[in-house]
């Protein structure tokens, strides 16, 4: 058996064991894809990120759920870049580039009130229609169809990872949600590996514009993501496309995780151009612990 050191950081919070946990493996060039997958399975977090050298950018990130590799992960990016910067990498540099499966993405470091914040640009937003059964969709989250806000569109969206955005009428419904993840592939017939991301315009924190939960695809090997970076980015593009088409840009805070004892905040910025929408998310992170994983 081999042993690898894993760093546990929580993203989108400055309080340990809040936010979203990510496992970080440094200097991972020697690991095979199968070994990375095995390590991510044993870590058990929603995502584990492996940091590698890159010939195209400052570094390369590879992201794994316990079940499979994914192309992009917001909280793992924020957590791992916070880790590297706080360890003295990149010195006084404010901008770097990372290589991911969706391409080369810029990263910006900001210091605000002595708090390090990481901003990442996400992939070009994409949306496709949901034409499935609304009763089955609501049931898969433990809700009734009447709790869905059908005045706003239910759509699949991606800024690197696909999720189904489901508007919900009232914040109170979020406490009643019980995801039945194994039902998702039969409900999400157009995109069977998508996750489900219920959203709402009622919030606990009056500084936040939107509230969310995130229920994982059963193929990922997890149930719920506490605070989701890529899906929050999708929410920025959703706002400009479907909620307020008159705006050319918007900045807001997404809150997530309160129903499961987490309390994360994701800062979202969406800027409309003639042909597209640029999506940025930002947040901080905090070191929690280091542990070892045995792998074959």
Strands 2-11 vs 285-295: parallel, antiparallel or unpaired: antiparallel
Report in angstroms the alpha-carbon separations of 206 from 165, 176, 209. 22, 22, 7
Rounded Cα gap, residues 138 and 146, in angstroms: 9
Q: Where are the alpha helices (DSSP H) in the chain?
A: 33-43, 74-86, 134-140, 172-175, 184-187, 229-238
Q: What letter would DSSP give residue 181?
A: G
Decide: 284 and 266 in contact? Cβ < 8 Å: no
Query: Which among 98, 28, 95, 91 is positioned nearest to 64, based on CA atoms?
Result: 28
Q: Are 221 and 250 in contact (CB under 8 A)?
A: no
Contact 291, 6 (CB under 8 A): yes
Q: How far is CA 95 from the centre of its chain?
A: 21
SS3 294: strand
Tokens of 1: 């058996």
Catalytic residue among 47, 119, 224, 255: 47
Active site residue 251: no
Quote the crossing angle between the two packed helices 74-86 and 229-238, to the nearest 10°: 120
> In degrees to the nearest 10, what's the CA dihedral of 263, 255, 19, 93?
-140
Element spanning 167, H or E: strand 162-167
Active site (catalytic) residues: 47
């Amino acid at each position: 058996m081999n042993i690898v050191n894993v760093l546990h950081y929580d993203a989108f919070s400055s309080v340990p064991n809040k936010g979203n946990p990510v496992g970080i493996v440094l200097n991972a060039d020697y690991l095979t894809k199968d070994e990375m997958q095995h390590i991510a399975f044993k870590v058990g977090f929603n995502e584990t990120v492996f940091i590698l050298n890159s010939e195209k950018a400052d570094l390369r990130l590879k992201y794994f759920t316990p079940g499979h590799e994914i192309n992009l992960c917001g909280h793992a990016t924020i957590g791992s870049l916070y880790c590297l910067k706080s360890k003295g990498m990149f010195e006084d540099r404010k901008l770097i580039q990372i290589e991911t499966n969706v391409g080369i993405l810029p990263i910006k470091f900001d210091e605000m009130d002595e708090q390090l914040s990481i901003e990442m640009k996400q992939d070009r937003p994409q949306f496709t229609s949901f034409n499935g059964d609304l009763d089955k969709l609501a049931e898969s989250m433990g809700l009734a169809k009447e709790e869905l806000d059908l005045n706003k569109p239910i759509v699949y969206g991606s800024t690197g990872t696909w999720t189904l955005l489901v508007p919900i009428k009232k914040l109170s419904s979020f406490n009643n949600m019980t995801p039945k993840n194994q039902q998702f592939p039969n409900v999400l017939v157009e995109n069977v590996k998508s996750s489900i991301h219920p959203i709402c315009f009622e919030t606990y924190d009056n500084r936040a514009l939107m509230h969310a939960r995130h229920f994982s695809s059963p193929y990922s090997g997890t149930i719920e993501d506490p605070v989701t970076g890529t899906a929050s980015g999708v929410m920025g593009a959703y706002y400009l496309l479907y909620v307020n088409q008159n705006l050319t840009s918007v900045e807001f805070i997404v809150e997530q995780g309160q129903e499961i004892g987490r309390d994360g905040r994701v800062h979202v910025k969406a800027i409309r151009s003639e042909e597209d929408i640029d999506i940025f998310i930002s947040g901080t992170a905090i070191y929690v612990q280091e542990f070892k994983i045995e792998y074959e």
